[in-house]
Amino acid sequence: MGPGSEGFGLKVTRSGRKVYVVQYRMGGRAFPTKRRTIGADGSPWTPLTARAEAERVLHMVGLGQDPAVAEQEKERQQLHGRFEQLAEHFLADSQRNWAPRTYINRKSDIERWLLPVLGKKTLCSITRRDITAVLDRIPDGRPALPRNVFVLMRTIFNWALGRGDIEKSPTLGMKVPRAAPERHHILADDELVVVAATAPKLGPVWGNLVHMLILTGQRLREVAHIEWSELDRVGRIWQIPRSRTKNGRDHVVPLNRAALATLDAIAGVEADDEEERKWPRSGFVFSHVPGTPVSGFSKVKARLDAMLAGTTDPTVRPWRLHDLRRTVATNMQRLGVRFEVTEAILNHVSVTQAGVASVYQRHDWLDEKRAALDAWSDKLVAMVESYQATRWEKPKKSKVLKKAA
């Protein structure tokens, strides 16, 4: 086959290697000749099979289809048709609608649970068995995770279905895993006092972090990632930016006396004059390495539990750090704080704040939140006094509660 001819041929290299090729033009003689390699002589390419492939290529050319372009499109579809590519596009599209924390959690779930099983699979090849394989990898000690991961997969495939990337979702007809039982655990007064009294043994960083959880009722990561730039000592407020809140809304938390004293201790403030007490302007409040917030919450909680196990009175029932937030909310109810104020302290979007009400009712409850959190600080002092009054052997008073007094 000559350089300018069209059709099937055999190319012999200088080393003697034989390669089957096919040449074609996409148009008349004015168009350049293109050469496409079929394969080297030998299995699976024999003169017979190679000629059949050449005829297929030339038939495509006769229909006006360039085999080289068609092959590139096929490779592109196979690449973008993999689940890992779909997940990347899904996250990029969803980031606009999710709160930053939600995005981080969903991205983590995709990377940890979905991609190891589904990542390299093409969308059309994913079946219910693959969905089940993802769920089977989740350890038994994570009761809420199977349902959350399944709902995430269903959301991704429904999104792909709406885009036309797939014709049918592999989750269709599958039963959603059962929801984890709701937790209603509240720490009793004496349990809370013992937790607060034991926390300083974790060290100044972790001990003060636990105290701030008790004093403010805010979410663990919101407290753990506080930056000094979010705090105003003069105004006694903590401004959590929407980028760090679960619902994507700015949140103002008034700081009661004990919270101020705790932050003063972290900042190393020793001035007697209230107006001379200055906090750093930047950096993380809770950090062991400059520029990096604390992490490893489960290990620290295990250490605290081991310390609590050494106390004989009272025995602290199994609990989680998030239970401190629920305990604060319950004590707000005991203090007679209005439901709307408690919801505002917790930064919950309740029914009363949704829909039209969220547009026209813009009261921020700042004064009411401050009064409630100050009352909570006073109650903590009363709880310590009550605990000590009923024990023959009085434990050392928690530093956080000394500050509140």
Task: Look at residue 171 and tell me if it is in a domain.
Answer: no
Any domain includes 179 = no
In this structure, are 21 and 95 located in the same domain?
no
Same domain flag for 243 and 214: yes
Written as six digits, the tokens of 195 are 């937790």
In a domain, 336, yes or no: yes
- 152 plus 61 within the same structural domain: no
The single-letter DSSP state of residue 82 is B
For 358-384, the pLDDT digits (tens) are: 444 557 899 999 999 999 999 998 888
What pTM was computed for the model? 0.66
Kindly state whether residues 298 and 269 are assigned to the same domain.
yes
* 237 within some domain: yes
| Domain boundary residue, one of 46, 73, 100 | 73
Same domain, 68 and 89: no
CATH number for position 137: 1.10.150
Q: Indicate if 307 and 338 belong to the same structural domain.
A: yes
Residue 177 lies in a domain: no
87 and 58 belong to one structural domain: no
Model confidence pLDDT, tens digit, residues 11-64: 998 888 999 999 998 877 788 888 889 999 987 899 999 999 999 999 988 888
Residue 129: exposure state from Cβ atoms within 10 A (0-12, 13-18, ≥19)? exposed
CATH code for the domain of 26: 3.30.160
Whether 252 and 130 share a structural domain: no
46 lies in a domain? Answer: yes
Q: How far is residue 384 CA from its own chain's centroid?
A: 37
The number of domains in the chain is 3
- Cβ proximity of 340 and 380 under 8 Å: no
* Whether 359 and 311 share a structural domain: yes
Residue 172 CA to residue 309 CA, distance in Å, equals 47
The answer to whether residue 255 sits within a structural domain is yes
- Same domain for 30 and 111? no
250-295 pLDDT, tens digit per residue, is 999 999 999 999 999 999 987 666 666 789 999 999 999 999 999 9
Residues 6 or more apart whose Cβ sits within 8 Å of residue 8: 1, 20, 21, 22, 50, 51, 54, 55, 58
For residue 78, being part of any structural domain is answered with: no
CB 6 within 8 A of CB 18: no
Domain enclosing residue 28, as ranges: 7-73
**CATH number, position 266:** 1.10.443.10
